[in-house]
Amino acid sequence: MALRQYQQQPQPQQPAVPHTYPTPVKRKQIISKGEKFLFAAFVMTCAFLMIFIVQTQTEIRAVDVQIQQMEQQIDTVKRENTDLEIQVAELSSYERIWLKAKELGLTLNEKNVKVVSGE
């Protein structure tokens, strides 16, 4: 077997071309700046409305508590008034007045009694 030797043949010289990188392709943004601004404004508006609703509900709850306290005070005063009306009725009964008059030494003079019609 004969050994063959290969010779390299000179390759033709290519002109020196500067290596150029491909220019980056500008991609179109999916979300524009205006849309981002609108989204941020929407989120802030929603947050503001949520805070406003919570504040309003808190104020409503506070007023509701005040109303309940006032109703309790009204009920208490009504009960006191009813008790006082009962006491007035008991203390102004004819029998009690007659007993107090006797204790004080007063007597009934039939000639001095005047009848007044009640209207």
> In this predicted model, what pLDDT tens digit does every residue of 72-114 receive, in sequence order?
999 999 999 999 999 999 888 888 988 888 899 888 877 887 7
The angle formed by the CA atoms of residues 35, 29 and 22, to the nearest 5 degrees, is: 165
- Cα 14 from Cα 104, distance rounded (Å): 146
Neighbours of 7 (CB within 10 A): 5
Note the pLDDT of residue 15.
Answer: 60
The CA radius of gyration of the chain, in Å to the nearest whole number, is 54
Across the range 21-25, mean pLDDT stands at 72
Q: What share of the chain is helix, strand, coil (3-state, %, to 5)?
A: 60, 0, 40
Note the pLDDT of residue 83.
Answer: 96
* Secondary structure class of 51 (helix, strand, coil): helix
